[in-house]
Amino acid sequence: MQPTGLARALVLSVDLLALLVGLLLAHAAWQAWQPPPPGVAVAAIDLLLPNPWSPPLLGIFVLWLGALRHYGLYDPGRITHTWRLAAGLSRASALAALLSMNALLLLEARTWSRFLLAAYCLAAAASLFVGRLSLFYALRFAPRPIIQQRVAIIGVGEEAARMSERLARYGAHAYALVGFFTPPGHSGPVAVQPGRILGPLSTFAEQVNRHDLRVVILTALPAARADALTLATQADAMGVAVWQVPFTWGAVANTRVDIARLGNIELINLTGVDYPSLGTQLKRALDLLAASALILLLAPALLAIGLLIKLQDGGPVLYVQERSGKGGRTFPFFKLRTMVVGAEALRDGLPNEADGVLFKLSDDPRITRLGRFLRRSSIDELPQLWNVLRGDMNLVGPRPLPMADLVGIERDPELQYWYEMRSRVKPGITGPWQVSGRSDASFREMMQHDIAYIQDWSLWLDLLILLRTLPAVLRGRGAR
């Protein structure tokens, strides 16, 4: 799992909780040190409510999270020892405290006293250290750390064998080695276990989806530069980082060289560099915050609905299906189960009312009575908030396509163009199709909506779609 996915969301959640705990501790110290006159006391909750206190707090939160990111504290590969964690946190805390105090001096209306801000900086630093240290050891000693990324090594010689040893020594908590690719033109001795060879590098895309690879490490170069360019292009499209052992070779994916750290080892990151705009960064931040808040808010209701689904027929609560995401990378797509057990096997005997490659049936006999309500209200889509946290999906984007519906799509140039356009972005829980008719829209209209959204994307467009989603869901128009 990539650091920008669920692992980073987990760390971010711990940091936000630590910053809130720091606020409570600072508030208690402030009230004890400078007791307010009777009747004008400021409760801790007042600092979070919409009032003159909250804008400075929001700014302080942003400064602290920015300082943590600046010092690499959201990259699991860089935090391999307790002392590294302590050093990074101390630098980030010092920077955040300095920026916060300077920002306070620039404010014309100062609601926060200097004592409160100083107490908060100390309490936040302590809370962050305790929270991060607890998470660090919990993940480090967990049987299967949630922070691990699945890694493959390109090469089967001595250098590949040494790299696998380094991964085990320095990165066991953050990286899980899946196996080795045989590079094109390899003719030397094999120094790795033959049973761990995934196959030739030409099967790269297939192996990425099969093993959910997130990083590949180059210890042997493809014989031809064209092969290297193909690898870099495929990896960039599928969201796979490419790291290179530092030997003399020009960058193949970009002219900017980045460094990936594995313990004390530095590797050259050859992944195609993406220069995200402020809008795309805000989009991801909005996705993480909204998905986290909604999961916490809706957890009791989802548990109750899951129990009803289980009591209905004893089958699984979730329906999990492989779907196509950005760059053609497959991911597990989560929904609450709304059909009878074994519904996929019953599909072949049913008519398809859709006018395109997708399958639609208005009165599908496989849907359960509870399932009809869940679909009509779109409650069955809520588990996809987990896909958003994982980094598979966005809140807004084209809907992810079932892999079975993509068979033979390459035979139609128009469908192929539509699919290639969709593959440039992550799919979404809601999108232009959903707010413009949902299942009532024709397949060709859906294609036009998807292409127009991708070409005209802006953060404002996403916000507009989100605002239009709730009325569309409440009306239930076009839901199946």
H or E element in which residue 334 lies: strand 330-336
* Euclidean distance between CA atoms 463 and 395, whole angstroms: 10
The residues, any chain, with a CB within 8 Å of residue 264's CB and separated by 6 or more, are 170
pLDDT above 70 for 382: yes
Lowest mean pLDDT segment, chosen from 219-228, 242-251, 464-473: 242-251
* pLDDT on residue 251: 40
Please report the DSSP string for 400-413 in residue order.
PEEGGGGTTGGGSH
* pLDDT on residue 428: 93
330 phi/psi in degrees, rounded to 5: -85, 155
Count other C-beta atoms under 10 Å from residue 153's C-beta.
27
* pLDDT on residue 376: 87
pLDDT bin (cut points 50, 70, 90) of residue 198 is very high
HSE-up of residue 39 (Cα within 13 Å, Cβ side):
0
Task: With CA atoms as reference, report the closest residue to 386 among 298, 445, 467.
Answer: 298
pLDDT above 70 for 368: yes
pLDDT bin (cut points 50, 70, 90) of residue 204 is very high
* pLDDT on residue 302: 93
> Which amino acid, residue 133?
L
pLDDT above 60 for 111: yes
* pLDDT on residue 441: 61
The share of the chain scoring above pLDDT 70, in percent, equals 75
pLDDT bin (cut points 50, 70, 90) of residue 396 is very high
Give CA angle at 475 (471, 478), nearest 5°. Answer: 110
For the segment 437-445, the average pLDDT, to the nearest whole number, is: 64
Contact 185, 227 (CB under 8 A): no
pLDDT above 70 for 110: no
3-state SS, residue 390: helix
Task: With CA atoms as reference, report the closest residue to 91 among 60, 59, 66, 123.
Answer: 66
pLDDT bin (cut points 50, 70, 90) of residue 476 is low
For the segment 413-420, the average pLDDT, to the nearest whole number, is: 80
Choice between 364 and 191, residue whose per-residue pLDDT is larger: 191
pLDDT bin (cut points 50, 70, 90) of residue 143 is low
Choice between 131 and 452, residue whose per-residue pLDDT is larger: 131
Q: How buried is residue 227: exposed, middle or buried, by Cβ count under 10 Å (0-12/13-18/19+)?
A: middle
Give CA angle at 238 (66, 139), nearest 5°. Answer: 50
pLDDT above 90 for 335: yes
| End-to-end CA, the chain | 32
* pLDDT on residue 317: 92
Choice between 9 and 305, residue whose per-residue pLDDT is larger: 305
* pLDDT on residue 388: 93
* pLDDT on residue 223: 57
* Euclidean distance between CA atoms 242 and 233, whole angstroms: 10
Task: With CA atoms as reference, report the closest residue to 424 among 297, 215, 280.
Answer: 280
Please, what is the average pLDDT of the chain? 79
* pLDDT on residue 218: 87
For the segment 395-411, the average pLDDT, to the nearest whole number, is: 82
For the segment 422-442, the average pLDDT, to the nearest whole number, is: 78
> Which amino acid, residue 67?
A
Give the distance from CA 382 to its chain's centroid. 16
Q: Tokens 């705009």 map to which residue?
A: 277
- Give the ranges where 107-263 is alpha helix by DSSP (H): 114-140, 158-170, 204-211, 225-238
pLDDT bin (cut points 50, 70, 90) of residue 255 is very low
pLDDT above 80 for 99: yes
The pTM score is 0.58
* pLDDT on residue 383: 94
pLDDT bin (cut points 50, 70, 90) of residue 384 is very high
Task: With CA atoms as reference, report the closest residue to 409 among 348, 360, 447, 357.
Answer: 357
pLDDT above 60 for 181: yes
Tens digits of residue pLDDT in 24-49: 888 888 878 876 655 555 666 766 66
pLDDT above 70 for 78: no
Please report the DSSP string for 145-191 in residue order.
-TT-EEEEEE--SHHHHHHHHHHHHH-TTTEEEEEEEEPTT--S---
pLDDT bin (cut points 50, 70, 90) of residue 454 is confident
pLDDT bin (cut points 50, 70, 90) of residue 303 is very high
The residues, any chain, with a CB within 8 Å of residue 202's CB and separated by 6 or more, are 184
* pLDDT on residue 159: 85
pLDDT above 80 for 163: yes
Fold of 149-269: Rossmann fold (3.40.50)
For residue 62, give Cα distances in angstroms to 30, 70, 302. 22, 12, 31
Lowest mean pLDDT segment, chosen from 15-19, 81-85, 370-374: 81-85
* pLDDT on residue 2: 45
Domain boundaries, the chain: 3-140, 149-269, 278-475
pLDDT above 60 for 272: no
* pLDDT on residue 477: 52
The residues, any chain, with a CB within 8 Å of residue 475's CB and separated by 6 or more, are none
The residues, any chain, with a CB within 8 Å of residue 314's CB and separated by 6 or more, are none
Helices (H) and strands (E) in the chain, counts: 13, 12
* Euclidean distance between CA atoms 208 and 178, whole angstroms: 10
pLDDT bin (cut points 50, 70, 90) of residue 274 is low
* Euclidean distance between CA atoms 42 and 350, whole angstroms: 64
